[in-house]
């Protein structure tokens, strides 16, 4: 059984940050990102359409942020998307995840087990 993925309910990063990356990741250059979904932002960089200006929302984001989302090009997403991790994924805090979530009124993610009850360790044994 797979673990719960908070990104499937969130999507705030796709609706808050500019998703820019090296143009060589586009299909016309041998990469995987569809050319028709990007816009040139510098001589060597492109951005996903919809993220190149504020307010932003990636054109490939499906669903409602905070309710249930999916990426229409998940298998062909850029390295920028592949490398962005939810806060506490792998035990590492990602403040940028918290920032995007806050922009949509979503609470920050918490470390695994943070919401579980903690028993004081007073050294006493339970019989």
Domain residue ranges of the chain, discontinuous segments joined by +: 6-84+93-103
Q: Each residue of 3-28: pLDDT tens digit?
A: 778 888 899 999 999 999 999 999 99
Give the span between the Cα atoms of 72 and 40, in whole angstroms: 20
* Distance, C-alpha 38 to centroid of its chain: 18
Q: Each residue of 54-91: pLDDT tens digit?
A: 999 999 999 999 999 999 999 999 999 999 999 999 89
Sequence-separated (6 or more) residues with CB below 8 Å from residue 92: 85
pTM: 0.83
CB-CB contact of 66 with 11 (8 Å):
yes
Average pLDDT, the chain: 90
Give the span between the Cα atoms of 49 and 87, in whole angstroms: 25
Q: Phi/psi of residue 101, each to 5°?
A: -60, -40
Q: Note the pLDDT of residue 4.
A: 73
């Amino acid at each position: 059984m797979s673990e719960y993925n908070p990104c499937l309910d969130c999507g705030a990063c796709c609706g808050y940050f500019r998703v820019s990356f090296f143009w060589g990741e586009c299909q016309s250059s041998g990469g995987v990102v569809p050319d028709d979904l990007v816009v040139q932002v510098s001589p060597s960089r492109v951005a996903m359409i919809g993220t190149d200006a504020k307010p932003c929302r990636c054109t490939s984001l499906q669903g409602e942020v905070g309710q249930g989302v999916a990426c229409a090009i998940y298998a062909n997403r850029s390295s920028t998307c592949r490398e962005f991790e939810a806060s506490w994924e792998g035990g590492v805090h990602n403040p940028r995840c918290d920032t995007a979530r806050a922009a949509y009124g979503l609470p920050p993610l918490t470390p695994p087990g943070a919401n579980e009850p903690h028993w004081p360790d007073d050294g006493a044994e339970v019989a």
